[in-house]
Each structure stands twice: as structure tokens, then as C-alpha cells.
Structure 1
Amino acid sequence: MTEDALGFPVRVPVPDLRALAGGNTGIPGVWRLDSGRPGPHAVITSLVHGNEFTGAAVLARWLRAGLLPARGVLTLVFANLDAFARFDPADPTLSRYVDEDLNRVWSPALLDGGRDSLELRRARALRPVVEAADALLDLHSMLWPSDPLVLAPASPAALAMARAMGAPGPIVADAVHPEGPRMIDHAAFTAPGTHRVALLAEAGQHWEPGTEAVAQAYAGGFLRALGMAPPPARLRPEPPVWRVTGAVTAASRRFAFTDSFRGGAVIPRAGTLIARDGEAEIRTPHDECLLVMPCPRVMRGHVAVRLARREEAGGARA
């Protein structure tokens, strides 16, 4: 086990992806697996952030085992290989990206614009893969302690897919991230009337032994929901749906939570003080307020936490 200066231990081995980095499509890190049978085109992406390699470990194991979908086409993506190549267990937070966040550039204005960065070049190379997907699952993990969750664009089709996955953790429906459009915010998945869906799975905390199993549960549930893998042996309870009602952005360098809140915590009462931002008080806007991925060390101008209200709960699902 290695621990960095900020106290984040790396408790899992770093996967060796060298033999898989070439892909089989002409795009580095992109693997196309064709069943030869009619069906959807599913895309599972990993390593959008270079230090979040849990999902990549799952996809690498599947490739080495010779996985083929039961129908349709499955494309597996190792997205930011350049950032991953810089991963250092002694300082694991520094390899999230090289130039800029690869998960904040997925708008036509940025993809078609003249600005250049390593991550924009990679997004442009991956764009045809993303736009070809009928369904996309983007695998991530989290720096700060938090329960697993699925982020879904607030469309009926995306929410239905998230429910059908039957994976652990709640579903959080939200709009474009305040700091920039994510891969799941791409117009291919958010345009009115589109049949395409995209989901982002946060499998748990980086570099913890249990996170990989959750990432595999999400990825396997995604394939089962599309009929591309055998059905599950048992039903899971349908996860609750929470809808984001607002985001709290740090306006000063003195932002601080009032407690060491874990992601997934639910604050029972409206008006509860949860943070101070300089002289300003940050209070919950409604009862039963879910804290989505609170970041206790946040820079000014960045999102410290998103807030969500429970929308519904259901029965059993596959």
C-alpha cells in the first residue's frame, strides 16, 4: 500500500494496460467486439480521468478473458491513456488529466473550436465512437468517501436504463455539470427525441479494494439491461431516484463544510447549516437533501457539492 502526502492510500495494484493500449479499431485504446448478431451498439468507457483506473481494470480483465456480447456490438474504451501513464502511487491525485479535464469538453463549441489541448485532441479522436453509441456507460470513481451512484441525464430513457441496470446505489438525475459538459452531456444523448442514452457510474472511492467489484456490477448490469449478457441470478431492489436541485460553488478560498460529510448523506431538515463560504452560510434548501459528492477541499469557482431531492422509489428490478 502506498499513501500520498494528502493521505490518500493506494490499496490496489495499478493495472498493466500496455498490451491493450493499441486497441483493434485504429484508435488507440478502443476495442470493438462484434457478436455477429443484430442488436444495439453499446460503449463502455473507462479512464476518462487518468487516476481513476478501477473501470479500466474491469475492462482489461474482460478483454483478456475473451468477452463477446450476446448480441450487437460492444466497444470498450481506455480514454485518457496519456494521463494514466503519469500515474504515481506516491502522488496519485496529479494524474487526473494532462492539460485539462477530459470530462468537461463535450460540447460542439469546444470540439469544433480552435482551442487545442491533449484532452481536446483525445476527445476529438473518440468523438465518432461516442456518437455511434446507442447506449454508453462511463465508469468513474471518487476521491472523497462516498456511496456509489449513477448519474443520469434527466430524460425518461436514461432513467429507465439506469433502473434496468439494477446495480447498487441511487440514481441521481442532473443537467450539464456546472464546470463543463461531460461525455454523458454530449448532444447525441441529450437532443430532444434521441433514442440514445448515456450514464456515468461512480463506483466508490479511488484505490479501494471494493470499488472494482462495484464497477463490474455496474458494467455487467448495463450489458444485461441491453440483452448483451445473461440475465441476473436474482432481482435487486430498484434504486431510488434523486433529482439535483442545485449546485454549491465555492465563492471564496474560505469554503468549509461544518462536518465531515460523506457523499450520499441525507440531511433531514431544510435550513440545516452544512457549510460556510467566507461570511456566507450554506443551508439545505429542502427536507431530505442528498449531498452528491461533497468535496471538502475545493478551490474557489469549483463545485463543492450538488444537492438533490428524492423523486421516487420502486420495487424489484433485474
Structure 2
Amino acid sequence: MSATNAYPVELEAPDISAYRTGNTGIDYVHTFDSGKPGPDAMINAVIHGNELCGAIAVDYLMKQDIRPTRGKLTVAFVNPEAYLRFDPAHPTKTRFVDEDMNRVWTPERLNGSDSTVELRRARELLPLYDRVERLLDIHSMGTYSDPIMLIHGLEKERRFTRQIGYPAMIACGSGHVEGLRLIEYAPFNDPASDRIACLVECGQHWAKSSADVAIDTALQYLHALDMISAETLAAHRHTAPVEAVTVADVTHGYAIRTDDFFFAENFKGLERFNKAGAVIAVDGGEEIVTPYDDCILVMPNHRAVKGQRAFRLARLSEAAV
């Protein structure tokens, strides 16, 4: 396993206790209604308890009194039980309490008899996800990769994330080996529905830059929905605007097969390989290579173990737009 597991914790988890009692009847969930026609939109933070940037972004929106000028905006601290256990001395320990909350969004799990902290919270939040028209789910990554917007790849998602225009890379493709991500929950993943969910990976979990990206992605999302003005976006922006967005299609996902797996280099993500045959990793003595020219490595997971997805491969699907 790579030594890249150790990263400094540059962020401080904001105190969210003041947000526990909201106005929705659900703890840590607040809805702001402009009273004017417009989208029913939602922003999610901390579906994983150790990913601080989303909490920082929602806390920023709340404290800066950034409210929708039309439509309705709901903000949620999704997995507060995991988040409230975060310890900067052990930052990897509080991704979840019982299970990964971003794998449970299947009818079998949601309607089944299992009872975990994450499933109970998912069921509590389900009426919101069955209602909202647009969803931004804020996450972070295990490496110092540049930020990525992730979507399943439906055309409606491609259009909307290009309208958001931030961050610079959009990756289209399915999620994990087991379960479904929230953005793949059935109402969002239906081509016949106009409802859309997208997930932003803002950078390394505890890097200061990931909080800046989270704030700016939330702002650009609201601006794309015409829920805040260009002046509000400019006044609160923390990073430089993106000049062009690149869209890539995920073609392969690699799950580790043996207990003897390692990456060929200390990859951080979004490396590009000009020629097919470049060695990405070695698994049980077998070299895992790029299957085509101009291949992009997406989100290498240096903490993955046998059976878990270690990386994805993608190719450009469109020129910069």
C-alpha cells in the first residue's frame, strides 16, 4: 500500500451544532424558499463524515446569508453522526459509522430490513431526494488530484454540468463495484425525468484548497440555476474561474483481485497517458496497463484493498467547451 495515505489536516471541521434544528422536521436540514417560482434545489454535505469541505461550504452559505433569489434551496449535513466523530488525529476513521452511506441507494437496501446508522438516515432523508429537482453532492478525494465533477453520463447531466462550468473536469460513468451512489438513485438516473444530480470531488480530503473548491462549486451551481446573481458569485468566489470545461467518459473501472497490489507510480489522478500499454499498477504479478491511447487515470485509491475499486480509466468525449 502506498505511503500517500498520510496527509496533513489543513482544515478545521466547523461546529454544526447550531444547525441541528432546522425548519424541515429533519435534523441538520434547512430549506430556504424565495417565494418566487424557480428550481427546487439541494446541496449535500458530509455524506462521508471525514470529508470536511462540504460542511465548510454549507456553513459558509449559511453564515454569509446566501439565499436563493428564486425557487427553493435545501442544504443538508447528510451524515452528522459520522461527521461529529471526526478527529483530526485519526482523520480516516470517520468516513461512516456502520457502512458507506454512498453505496446504499438501491431499492433493496432502502426498502429492506437492515438497520444501520447510515440506512436509517438515508430513509429519513428520502422524501427530500424524492422531491428535489436538482442536487449537488459535495465530496473530496484521497489524493491531491485536481477537482472533478462526477455524473452518471446522461445527456441531461452533461448539459447541466457544462452550465455549472466548474470545476474544469467532468467525468461521466458508473460508480462503484457494489451499491449505488446517491446521484444514481432512480429518480435522478431516469433519462425520462428532468431531475438531475451531480457529485463534485473537490480535492484531497483535508487540503485547504478543497474547501475553496467546495464553496465555489456551490456558488456556481446556484448561479447556473439562476438562484444567485453574477455579482454574488463574484463577491464570494475563492478561486479563479475556469476558462474551459473538459468532459471525459469513464471506460474501465479496476477492482483489486489479490492481496499483492500496488500502483506503478505515486499517481494522484487525472494523469494522461499518450500511448496504450502504459503500466498503471501490478496485481498479483500481472501488469495492469492502459487499454488505449490518450487514456486518463481517474481517482486512484491508494487505500483500496482486495475487492475494492482502485482506479478508473477515461477518454476525452468532447473538446473543451
Category of TM-score, reference length = shorter chain:
over 0.9
Q: Distance in 1 between matches of 2:94 and 2:303?
A: 17
**Secondary structure at the residue paired with 1:187?**
coil
* Residue in 2 that maps onto 1:197: 196
Q: Distance in 1 between matches of 2:225 and 2:318?
A: 23
Q: Are residues 1:12 and 2:14 paired? A: no
Q: Are residues 1:252 and 2:258 paired? A: yes
Q: What aligned pairs does 1:17-36 form with structure 2 within 5 A after superposition?
A: 17-36=16-35
For residues 122-147 of structure 1, what are the alpha-carbon distances to aligned partners after superposition, in whole Å with 9 as ceiling and x for unaligned? 11011111121111000011122211
Question: Do the aligned partners of 2:40 and 2:72 also contact (CA within 8 Å) in 1?
Answer: yes
* Residue in 2 that maps onto 1:145: 144
Question: Do the aligned partners of 1:255 and 1:298 also contact (CA within 8 Å) in 2?
Answer: no
Unmatched tracts of structure 2, length 5 or more: 235-239
For residues 238-279 of structure 1, what are the alpha-carbon distances to aligned partners after superposition, in whole Å with 9 as ceiling and x for unaligned? 311000001010001111011111111111111111111012
Question: Do the aligned partners of 1:145 and 1:205 also contact (CA within 8 Å) in 2?
Answer: yes
The residue type equivalent to 1:285 in the other structure is P
Question: Do the aligned partners of 1:21 and 1:81 also contact (CA within 8 Å) in 2?
Answer: no
For residues 273-295 of structure 1, what are the alpha-carbon distances to aligned partners after superposition, in whole Å with 9 as ceiling and x for unaligned? 11110122201011111111101
Instruction: Give aligned pairs, total.
Output: 311
For residues 10-56 of structure 1, what are the alpha-carbon distances to aligned partners after superposition, in whole Å with 9 as ceiling and x for unaligned? 11222111111222211011110100000010010000000002111
Q: Are residues 1:303 and 2:309 paired? A: yes
Question: Do the aligned partners of 2:60 and 2:215 also contact (CA within 8 Å) in 1?
Answer: no
Q: Are residues 1:94 and 2:103 paired? A: no
Q: Distance in 1 between matches of 2:165 and 2:301?
A: 27
**Secondary structure at the residue paired with 2:61?**
helix
Q: Are residues 1:290 and 2:289 paired? A: no
For residues 85-124 of structure 1, what are the alpha-carbon distances to aligned partners after superposition, in whole Å with 9 as ceiling and x for unaligned? 1111100100000000000001111101111111000110
* Residue in 2 that maps onto 1:69: 68
Question: Do the aligned partners of 1:237 and 1:314 also contact (CA within 8 Å) in 2?
Answer: no
Q: What aligned pairs does 1:125-274 form with structure 2 within 5 A after superposition?
A: 125-231=124-230, 236-274=242-280
The residue type equivalent to 2:297 in the other structure is L
TM-score of the superposed pair, with normalisation by structure 1: 0.94
The residue type equivalent to 1:284 in the other structure is T
How far is 1:6 from its partner? Answer: 5.2
Question: Do the aligned partners of 2:248 and 2:318 also contact (CA within 8 Å) in 1?
Answer: yes
* Residue in 1 that maps onto 2:78: 79
TM-score of the superposed pair, with normalisation by structure 2: 0.93
Q: What aligned pairs does 1:39-58 form with structure 2 within 5 A after superposition?
A: 39-58=38-57
Unmatched tracts of structure 1, length 5 or more: none
Q: Distance in 1 between matches of 2:15 and 2:224?
A: 29
How far is 1:235 from its partner? Answer: 7.1
- Percent of aligned pairs with the same amino acid: 42
**Secondary structure at the residue paired with 1:161?**
helix
The residue type equivalent to 2:86 in the other structure is F
* Residue in 1 that maps onto 2:112: 113
* Residue in 2 that maps onto 1:59: 58
Q: Distance in 1 between matches of 2:91 and 2:106?
A: 28
